Amino acid sequence: MKNQVVEKLLKIVNQFPPFHDGIDLYWIFYIRFKRSWKKIFIQKYLDTYYFSATNRISFSYPKEFQHEYLEDELKIWIEELLAYRIRVMKNPIEEQARLLQAIPINLRMGLMTRQNVRRLMPDWAEINLGVTSAERKILMEILRGRDGEDLNSFTAEKYFEYCKVAYLANLKTFNGFDFKKDETGREYYKKFADGRDGGLSSLDLT
């Protein structure tokens, strides 16, 4: 089912030229959100769009869009992208320079050589440098070993059980987000995964 807010957002997004990665298309935007900045990543694979943002928002569209509670925030995205588009059309070089000055350091990404990392953080070292030979031997034995028996089959129900364990093991990841401890693995998956599961989350487990 179509959502008018997301449709309007996509109409604006598609006015910007995308990056290409194989058959995938993607866009990256930086917008002001209240008093902070937000990085928005939108990827299109076949006929589905996958959205993610720095405040751990993640959803796909149009398949199984059940995130109406996000509409107020998405409307802010629309306003910011419309304003950004106007500035880009007026002077793209000036707008790029403005962004480079304004984007906070925690949203910037790039590559740094190990030599420069060590110059900036002289106390930094790889974890293996602080491990004794005996400890290294134990770690390698653990890595070479197998935990449990081989699985000849793996059901969707079992997969979602594993999902629940994984989500509950990383509660700090969801600080400030509407995370409930009593939900099922499937509910967690639908809420936080990007939806590229080949229809797995649509299977009837009853």
Return the DSSP state at 51.
E
Residue 135, Cβ density class (10 Å: 0-12 exposed, 13-18 middle, ≥19 buried): exposed
**Measured between alpha carbons, how far is 174 from 190 in angstroms, rounded to an integer?**
15
Of 27, 15, 33, 42, which is closest to residue 76 (Cα–Cα)? 33
- Taking CA atoms, 35 is separated from 86, 96, 104, in Å, by 21, 20, 12
Give the model's pLDDT for residue 127. Answer: 61
Residues spanned by the domain of 168: 156-202
Q: What pLDDT score does 69 carry?
A: 77
Q: Is residue 128 part of a domain?
A: no
Structural domain contains residue 151 = no
Task: Tell me the mean pLDDT in the region 51-79.
Answer: 82
Task: Give domain status of residue 117, yes or no.
Answer: no
Residues 174-191: tens digit of each pLDDT: 776 677 888 888 888 887
Q: Kindly state whether residues 17 and 79 are assigned to the same domain.
A: yes
- CA gap 189, 104 in Å, rounded: 31
Is 93 domain-assigned?
Answer: yes
pLDDT digits (tens, 9 = 90+) for 134-188: 888 888 888 787 666 777 888 888 889 998 898 888 777 777 667 788 888 888 8
50 domain residue, yes or no: yes
Quick: pLDDT tens for 13-50.
999 999 998 889 999 999 988 788 999 999 999 888 99
Query: Minimal CA–CA distance to 74: which of 8, 141, 21?
Result: 8
Is residue 91 one of the residues assigned to a domain?
yes
The phi-psi region of residue 152 (left if phi > 0; otherwise alpha if psi is between -120 and 50; otherwise beta) is alpha
Rounded to a whole number of angstroms, the CA Rg of the chain reads 22
Residue 115 confidence class, pLDDT cut points 50, 70, 90: confident
90 and 185 both lie in a single domain: no
Q: What percent of the chain has pLDDT over 70?
A: 90
Q: Give one DSSP letter per residue of 181-200, joined into a string.
A: TTS-HHHHHHHHS-S-STTG
Count of structural domains, the chain: 2
